[in-house]
Amino acid sequence: DARVTQTPRHKVTEMGQEVTMRCQPILGHNTVFWYRQTMMQGLELLAYFRNRAPLDDSGMPKDRFSAEMPDATLATLKIQPSEPRDSAVYFCASGITGAGYNSPLHFGNGTRLTVT
């Protein structure tokens, strides 16, 4: 069964430290989304890529967050420096999008980040 893989599953870190989250999309999917989920805000879209090119990262705090796709099998989300308010579950989702395509997103199991 094809699935989106996220690592690590859990991360506890101290304020000011760098955090890197990784996502392996489903093979053949051309679009990768990063979402952050909290009780207060629900699922917020941070950034997404199609064919490794960033399409929209307007939901991401630019001063501390960065998202990249070094290759088609890996997407990364980095926070530097981390702050307690970044504590949340970060989800990666992949799908096939573009002209003529319309597939649902498939989610990974998320990275639960706690910043103390």
Partner 1 sequence: EDKVVQSPLSLVVHEGDTVTLNCSYEVTNFRSLLWYKQEKKAPTFLFMLTSSGIEKKSGRLSSILDKKELFSILNITATQTGDSAVYLCAVQKTSYDKVIFGPGTSLSVIP
Of 33, 34, 65, 90, which one interacts with partner 1 (CB under 8 A)? 33
Give the C-alpha separation, 88 to 99, whole Å. Answer: 33
Edge to edge, the sheet with strand 65-71 lists 5-7, 19-24, 74-79, 65-71
Contact window for partner 1 (CB under 8 A) among 13-21, 45-53, 69-77, 79-87: 45-53
Question: Which residue spans within 25-105 are E strands per DSSP?
Answer: 31-38, 42-50, 53-56, 65-71, 74-79, 88-95, 97-98, 101-102
Give the C-alpha separation, 27 to 36, whole Å. Answer: 23
Report if residue 14 touches partner 1, rule: CB under 8 A: no
Report if residue 107 touches partner 1, rule: CB under 8 A: yes
Given the complex with partner 1, which of 35 and 65 has the nearer CB atom?
Answer: 35
Report if residue 35 touches partner 1, rule: CB under 8 A: yes
Report if residue 2 touches partner 1, rule: CB under 8 A: no
Report if residue 43 touches partner 1, rule: CB under 8 A: yes
User: Cβ contacts of residue 101 below 8 Å, gap of 6+?
Assistant: none
Report if residue 34 touches partner 1, rule: CB under 8 A: no
Q: Which residues bind partner 1 (CB under 8 A)?
A: 4, 31, 33, 35, 42-43, 45, 48, 50, 55-56, 91, 93, 97-98, 102, 104-110
